[in-house]
Amino acid sequence: MAKDFANKKPVSRQAKPKQAVAETSHISFWMWLFTSLTVIAFVCLLIYLGQRNATAPTKVQPPTQVTVKEGKPKPKPVKPAKPAEPQWTFPEELKEREVEVEVDPVASRPLKEYIMQCGSFRKRDQAEQLEARIAFTGLQAEVRETEGKNGLWYRVVLGPYQGKRSADRDRHLLQDNKIEGCRIW
């Protein structure tokens, strides 16, 4: 059955009972009362304990009389000489000892040279644009012409680098400047 929502009169809502508000204030009153009494009791306890310790009688011992007998004076105790510092032989042993170290052939070999390629284009203009963007980062790139199976390619390369770490450092610099896709080999 269809309802007429346009001419419908709003239903008056009954007010919520005020009793719920009164209960929360009633609870908070008891909570404040309990908290206040607890704090007051704690302060009174501290004062009581402080006065109890302050008024506690302390026993005063009368001064004792010392009788001095004249006679042989007591010899002063002899202070022992400072103990000699221990003699360590370890430093001398280290000076005399010689350690032979084998040279690792992997560490002593010359570093491999790496080249980083950042792009390969069919048109020289595109390669030169990338070379200019790389030059703005402070690095020097060059455009190399390479004859491939399917024509002439213009490669943008950087290097040679003496180690992969230095090539990676430059690659990260290029990535920070939004030049992506550089490969190291």
**The pTM of the whole model exceeds 0.75:** no
Q: What pLDDT is attached to residue 167?
A: 96
Q: Is 140 helix (H, G, I), strand (E, B) or coil?
A: coil
Q: What pLDDT is attached to residue 101?
A: 81
Return the closest-CA partner of residue 137 out of 183, 181, 171: 171
- Is the CB of residue 158 less than 8 Å from the CB of residue 119? no
110-184 belongs to which CATH class? alpha beta
Domain positions in the chain: 110-184
Sheet holding 114-121, edge to edge: 142-148, 151-161, 114-121, 183-184
Q: What pLDDT is attached to residue 124?
A: 97
Outline where 81-163 has alpha helix (H). 90-96, 105-108, 124-136
- Is the CB of residue 137 less than 8 Å from the CB of residue 174? yes
Quick check: bond before 63 cis, omega within 30?
A: no
Find how far residue 3's CA is from the centre of its chain. 66
pLDDT in tens, the chain (185 residues): 677 777 877 777 776 665 555 555 567 888 899 999 999 999 999 999 988 776 655 665 666 666 656 666 666 666 666 777 777 787 788 888 888 888 777 666 677 899 999 999 999 999 999 999 999 999 999 999 999 899 999 999 999 999 999 999 999 999 999 999 999 99
Q: What pLDDT is attached to residue 15?
A: 66
